[in-house]
Amino acid sequence: MFKGKNKYESPKTTASTTPPIDETSCIIAKGTVIEGTFSSTMDLRIDGIINGEVKSRKLVMGETGKIEGTVNCSESSIKGKIEGELNVRGLLHLLSSAFIKGKIRAKKMVVDEGASYSGECLIGEHHFKKEVV
């Protein structure tokens, strides 16, 4: 109506409070169950359940997330549960609600107070072969 005269334009809002999903993320929502191999070249957020193998660039797991199987990724931040094998070529961060049961291999690892893991834990770059991730 007053083009050029109004310097302030109100931001566009939507009814949804969900943040926008960018083109470099894949989200497995709470209530979703996947059986088999799941592979993504994008960053991956898991709030659901995966039974099988997971391959991704960066893995972020929420408190409701659960994986039973093998995980191969470049970087990971875990709040949920993993039973099986976890291979992280870079930094693995276990947050306070994380629970890992099985074999962990990571270049670097940070464990917050309250997180727990049970099983073999191999930290350092020398534990990786090129074909792992």
CA 29 and chain centroid, separation:
12
Backbone angles phi, psi at 84, to 5 degrees: 145, -135
Q: Quick one: pLDDT band at residue 127, thresholds 50, 70, 90? A: confident
Which stretches within the chain are classed as H helix? Answer: none
> Residue 15 has which token pair?
């009814």
CA 117 to chain centre: 17
Report the chain's mean pLDDT, rounded to a whole number.
Answer: 84
The pair of three-digit structure tokens given for residue 81, joined into one six-digit string: 């549960």
Rounded-to-10 torsion of CA 22, 28, 31, 35:
160
Span 44-69, mean pLDDT?
96
Return the higher-pLDDT residue of 8 and 64: 64
pLDDT of the residue at 25: 83
pLDDT surpasses 60 at 130: no
Token pair 């926008």 is found at: 20
pTM reported for the whole predicted model: 0.78
The domain spans of the chain are: 25-127
pLDDT per residue as tens digits for the range 14-41: 443 334 455 668 999 999 999 999 999 9
Is the pLDDT higher at 36 or at 132?
36
Phi, psi of 16 (to 5 degrees): -85, 140
Residue corresponding to tokens 């792992």: 132
Answer yes or no: are the C-beta atoms of 100 and 116 closer than 8 Å.
yes
